[in-house]
Structure 1
Amino acid sequence: MNYKKLSKLLLVPLFSVSMFFGINNNHQPAAHAASKRAVKVAYQVAESKLGSPYTYGASGPTTFDCSGFTQYIYEQAHVNIARTAQGQYETTKPIQRTQLKKGDLVYFGDSSDSISHVGFYIGNGQMIDAQNNGVITENIDAPWWSIVGYSRP
């Protein structure tokens, strides 16, 4: 058999299998966006935690660090995301700023390899996040943050 024909015959099933299982070759996460209901639940939980204290390494239910907070609120909505801000950035679906909507995550740091903070986007340029002042609502463009990227759990 001709090697060209054989390689074409092998590539079609391989492509089909990779599409079925969500495998991609772009080193981008193969994630599915959280449902509208899950975002609604996560938002309600996030609002209910406003004023909770910040503790480095904490993931709730009464005290949080930034990524512990985003993981916790999505966990309550039955959506599993990574524990760290870097892990969340690397394993959720990347989006552009123009695509931001309530429930998306906003990442801050020095670069995409050095994420140091994450917040839960609530619309109108605002997020709910856990930081030194506890769980608060603040502007994503606050001068003390440097945006690195955005994603959709």
Structure 2
Amino acid sequence: MKKKCSALLLAGFLAFGAGQISMADYMVGSRGPEVQNIQRRLISNGYRLKADGNFNSQTSAAVKKFQFKKHLDVDGIVGPATYKALMGKAMSWAPEKSTRKAGHEANHKTFMGIDDATVEWHHENAMSSTVKAIMEEAKKYVGVPYQFGGTTPRGFDCSGFIQYVFNRKGIVLPRGADEQYSAGRKVSVNALKPGDLVYFQTYAEGISHSGLYLGDGYFISATSSQGVAVATMKSGYWHDRYMGANRVL
């Protein structure tokens, strides 16, 4: 019965966040007229690059500088929050398909990443009532927008979201992602269980992003590109930038 309930909880969570998982952003490899519009807007903001409709490393570097200036997550990806800040309007359609695989280039000399040869993703057969309560609480905020320094449902940043969700269930955590990593017991990627906290490097060297692990390689966090959303660690952007995990429950 516990196994069935746990599987249903994860399945419901992923279905609830399906729009966030599949939503396409503009990143390295994206091409088309809208990429060219983004590049032109970056140029008008003083960044040096070519408006050729090809989202390359030069475009990504300019986006990162813009995101840093606007206090957004610095990931070089133009998602809804960055798009609105840059273009002055909401992103109302999905970007052109990338000619590359999802995700963009990572500096593996800097990021720990995940060793696919040693990891085995799996569903957790049983979860405690506390873990279930934490996951259900987190699910309530899917779609809440990103806000730099945000700690309430009006807008969250990554660590503010984690701190808020756990605090709602009577568990006090530090404010910053790096401070949260210092709490609890460190666990390996193969030992991950729902309710664990997972950490990533997004721009500066070291831990700069935290999320709540859901099971089977998925986690939920607050990002500048999608707000509170479910994402995968199995491949792509977050897979390459994984730094570690801990258990606070």
TM-score (norm 2): 0.45
Is the counterpart of residue 151 in structure 1 residue 246 in structure 2?
yes
Greater percentage in strand: 1
Is the counterpart of residue 40 in structure 1 residue 96 in structure 2?
no
Aligned residues: 117
Kept after mapping to 2: 8 A contact 1:39/1:77: no
From 123, 134, 140, the equivalent of 2:227 is: 134
Match runs of 1:2-151 below 5 Å:
36-109=128-201, 114-132=206-224, 133-145=226-238, 146-151=241-246
In percent, how many aligned pairs have the same letter?
Answer: 36
Kept after mapping to 2: 8 A contact 1:38/1:74: no
Q: Partner of 2:230: helix, strand, or coil?
A: strand
> Offset of 1:60 from its aligned partner?
1.2
Paired with 1:84 and 1:141, the residues of 2 have a C-alpha distance of 25
TM-score (norm 1): 0.71
Paired with 1:77 and 1:148, the residues of 2 have a C-alpha distance of 26
Kept after mapping to 2: 8 A contact 1:82/1:88: yes
Paired with 1:45 and 1:72, the residues of 2 have a C-alpha distance of 10
Q: Partner of 2:152: helix, strand, or coil?
A: coil
What is the match of residue 58 of structure 2? Answer: none
For residues 10-66 of structure 1, the C-alpha deviation after alignment (integer angstroms, 9 at most, x for no partner) is xxxxxxxxxxxxxxxxxxxxxxxxx93322221111100000000011111331000
Kept after mapping to 2: 8 A contact 1:41/1:76: no
Paired with 1:45 and 1:94, the residues of 2 have a C-alpha distance of 23
> Offset of 1:77 from its aligned partner?
1.1
Paired with 2:187 and 2:164, the residues of 1 have a C-alpha distance of 22
Paired with 1:107 and 1:144, the residues of 2 have a C-alpha distance of 13
Note closer, same or farther for the CA distance 1:142–1:82 as it changes in structure 2 (3 Å cut): farther
Q: Partner of 2:208: helix, strand, or coil?
A: strand
Note closer, same or farther for the CA distance 1:69–1:124 as it changes in structure 2 (3 Å cut): same
Paired with 1:52 and 1:67, the residues of 2 have a C-alpha distance of 14
* Unaligned stretches of 5+ residues in structure 1: 1-34
Kept after mapping to 2: 8 A contact 1:106/1:151: yes
